[in-house]
Amino acid sequence: MLHGRSTSFWVFLTFAGMMTGTVFGEAIGAVLPDGSVALKQFFSGGAEFSLGPLGFDLYILRFHLAEIALKLNIMSFAGLLAVGVLYKWF
């Protein structure tokens, strides 16, 4: 089922596809004219999940992270499908 690939390869492939799709969707949204609000919302709008602020202080080590966020839109899943198809071809 996994074609002899490691789990980290599949996790990387998933993130690469979703990142590619999100960037492509944002680029389409930036190119569209201001009058097409519905199309801009469809391509670049989406759900955003965030976690933060995170931090810890161990006297010799202090770490603080303001926020970790993940933004998904419809193009994220299209990118995931595109990477899956490309993997199947190669």
Residue 79 DSSP symbol: H
Domain boundaries, the chain: 7-89
pTM above the 0.85 mark? no
In order along its 90 residues, the chain shows pLDDT tens digits of 556 778 888 888 888 888 888 888 888 888 888 888 888 888 888 888 888 788 878 777 888 888 888 888 888 888 888 888 888 876
